[in-house]
Amino acid sequence: MTTRENSVSRHRIALVMASGVASALLLTACGSSSDNSANTGAAAPVASASAEATTPADGGTSTSSSGAGHMVSTNMLMSKTMSGMGAVITDAKGFTLYRYDKDQVNMSMCTGSCAQTWMPVMADGTPQGMGVQAKVGVLTRDDGMKQITLAGWPLYRYMGDTKAGEMNGQGKEGAWFAVTPAGKKMAASG
């Protein structure tokens, strides 16, 4: 290797290391947000386009944050029976998933502070359904992230559900409802 090639190689390594440090700092800064307010007004649409899920996956779930808000990812939707409520859809860890009345089929209207409280459920690979009757799909948000849909409706997890099996988001603001295996919204309780 010539001196010039060696110099170029060291320069590339330094750039890669610097970008890694910058990425880590950015993720740390984005993960420290404490805004838990919900967006109650209509927001600009976030997504379009859908794709059908067809290949098997391992059922994992993870949580992360980005500049757009907190997100969770999974590759498995499951039908779970909740005491007194009937069957609802959960992620692989058993957290209840919700749909938003202001969304449209294959279009998310939950952005900004709304996505801080109602975390979009992103596809980690190709999502599958267990006990799910409706079509599982994926839409592409404006930020390029792939959000899971059921019967075309974007899915979310509520920040107020702190452990599996909770349904604290059911009926919130008269617009957020747990999702049934058929992709319908669960009737409001109360």
Which residues fall within 8 angstroms of residue 21, CB to CB, at 6 or more apart? none
Q: State the pLDDT at residue 142.
A: 83
- pLDDT confidence band for 183 (50 / 70 / 90): very high
Question: Beta 146-150 vs 136-141: how paired, if at all?
Answer: antiparallel
What are the tens digits of pLDDT across the range 31-49?
A: 433 333 333 444 444 444 4
What are the tens digits of pLDDT across the range 57-73?
A: 344 444 444 434 467 89
Q: State the pLDDT at residue 51.
A: 37
Residue type, 92: A
What are the tens digits of pLDDT across the range 112-155?
A: 899 999 999 999 889 999 999 999 999 998 888 899 999 999 99
Calculate the CA 11 to chain-centre distance: 37
- pLDDT confidence band for 1 (50 / 70 / 90): low
pTM: 0.66
**In contact, 108 and 75? CB cutoff 8 Å:** no
